Amino acid sequence: MDKKGDINSRFLLDNHIDDLINGFANVCDLYSAVLDINGHVLIEPNGPSTYLGEFHELVLNPKYSKVYVDVMNCIIDSKQAIYSEIDDGNPDSRLAAAPIFIDGRFYATWILYAHTKAQNQKLFKAFSNMSTFAEVLSDIVTKLYTNSMLTEKEEDITNKLEFEQKAKEIMSRILECVALGDKRDITKIYDDVGNILDVDYMVYYKVDRDRPGYMKLVDYWAKHGKGKDAEDAFSWDSDHYDMELQEKIKKDGLIIDKNNMTNRMRVEVFNGNVKAILVFPVYFHDIYQGRLIFIENTKERVWTSSEINFAKDVADMISKDLTIESRFRRGKKSNKALIEIFDALPIYAFVRTVDDGKIIYANPAMQNKLGSGIVGQNSFQMIPYFMKEYDNANMAEGIAHSYTKGKYKRYIQQLGGTFDVLEYFMRWDDGQIASVIALVEDRTTL
C-alpha cells in the first residue's frame, strides 16, 4: 500500500490474494489475471503453460485495451460478473470477468480465460462460482485494507509521539545551555538535532552588515562530519535566494519538500542537489539577524508538522540565545540582566537567599504555576541545598567561596515532575549571597 492509501500489487502479494485467485484458476484449468482500473497488471497472468503466451498477449498487448475498457465498464455498471466471447483470432476463446470492490468502491477486474473448447466448458461451469468468489475476495481485501490503514495510522501516531518526546528532551538541553551560557555540550546537541530530523546539513548564516545582500557563514553541521567540500558549498559570495524568497524567509520561513519543489527551484535556487529544505529566520531585538537552514540532499521527503515545529523552535532558541548573550555582556551578569533573561525563558526559575532560602524573585512561568505569592516564601521544602556540609551559620560564605554553580536532579512535588536543577551562586543587590535556580523538566522520566 502506498502513502496515499491506494492498494498496489505488493499489498495483494503480501496478503496472498494471488494464491487464492491462482488456486481457483488452477483447479478449473483456466488462465487468470487481475488488472487495476487503468488496465495495469496487479496479479500476473497465470495458467497452464500450453497457451499462457496467448493469454499474456491478450492481457498486455495495447491493441486489446479497448476490449478491457468495455469489459470493465460493463461490470462496473452491473456490479456483476460477465461471460463473453472475445475477438482474439481464436473462435474457441471465451472470457469471464468479475469486479473486485474495496469498501464499495470498484478496485480491480479479475479475468478468467479459456483458449480451447474443453477449457471453455470448464469456464462456463466455473462462472457462477467465480462471481461468488469475487464477492468473498472483495470482503477479504476490504478487511485487510481497513486493518492495514488502522495499523499504519497507529504507527504514524507512535512515531509522532516518539519524535515529539525526543524533541522535547533535546529542547530541554538547549534551554539548559542557553540559561547557563554553557556551550560545552552544543556539538552533541547539534548531532541530536540533525539525527532526529534525519537531514544532511544544518547551516547558520548571519546577515553581513558591511555588505548588503551578502550572508556570512557562522557555523554548520554535516551528517558525515565537517569538511572542505561542505564549507566551500556553504560559503556564498551573495544571498542566492531571490527577493521574494528572502522576504518570505524573514516573515514566515521557507518550507520546501516533495509536495512543492519545482524543477526550476531545484536547479536555479538549490543547484540541482536539494530534495527538501527548511529555512527559519533568526531575530535579535526584532531585527533580522540571519537564518537557520535544514537541508535534505539524499532523498525525496515531505516534512511532518512535528519536524517543522521542532526546527522552528531550534531557530527561535538561537534568537533567544543571542538576546541572552547580549544581556550578559551588557549587564555583566547583573541582577537586572538575569531577571530579563529568566523573564524571557519558558522554564521555571527563581532566586533565593542562601542563608534562609527566602524567594526574592520568581519568573513569570514560576509564578503562573505556583502563584505570585511564592515571592517571600521559604524555598527549602521545595528544593533544599544540594551541599550539606555547611551549617546555617556559615553556609552562605562557604558556598560562595567554594562553589560557583551546581547541577542535580530532583523530583519537585509542587511542580509535579522531575527536574534538572541548575543552581548558580552570586551576590544580589544588597551584597548578600543568592542562589539563582533554573528548572528544566526531565522528559526522560515521563
Instruction: List the pLDDT tens digit at each of the 446 positions of the chain.
Output: 443 334 567 778 877 888 888 899 899 999 999 988 888 888 899 999 998 988 888 888 888 888 888 888 888 877 888 888 888 888 888 999 988 888 888 888 899 999 999 999 999 888 888 888 888 888 888 888 777 665 656 666 777 778 888 888 888 777 777 666 656 666 778 888 988 899 988 888 888 888 877 788 888 888 888 877 767 767 655 566 778 888 888 888 889 998 888 887 777 677 667 889 999 988 887 888 888 999 998 888 999 988 999 999 888 888 777 766 655 555 445 677 678 778 878 889 999 988 888 999 999 999 999 988 899 999 988 988 755 444 444 444 444 444 456 778 889 999 988 998 888 877 776 667 788 898 988 766 55
Residue 351, pLDDT score: 92
Residue 233, pLDDT score: 67
pTM of the shown model? 0.48
Residue 136, pLDDT score: 86
Strand order in the sheet with 276-284: 215-222, 201-207, 287-296, 276-284, 254-256
Query: CA 367 to CA 372: how far, in whole Å?
Result: 5
Amino acid, single-letter form, for residue 248: K
Residue 167, pLDDT score: 84
For 181-330, CATH number out of 3.30.450.40, 3.40.50.10710, 1.10.760.10, 3.40.640.10 equals: 3.30.450.40
Per-domain residue ranges of the chain = 9-152, 181-330, 335-445
335-445: CATH architecture: 2-Layer Sandwich (3.30)
Q: Tell me if 376 sits within 8 A of 358, measured CB to CB.
A: yes
Three-class SS state of 411: strand
CATH 3.30.450.40 holds for 9-152 = yes
Asked, colleague to colleague, whether 9-152 and 335-445 share their fold, the answer is: yes
Residue 152, pLDDT score: 58
Residue 378, pLDDT score: 92
The DSSP string of 354-404 is TTT-BEEEE-HHHHHHH-GGGTTSB-TTTS--S--SS-TTTHHHHHHHH-S
Three-class SS state of 47: coil
- Pull the grid cell for residue 51: 497457451
Q: What are phi and psi of 125, to 5 degrees?
A: -70, -35
Closest CA relative to residue 256, chosen from 188, 219, 175, 311? 311
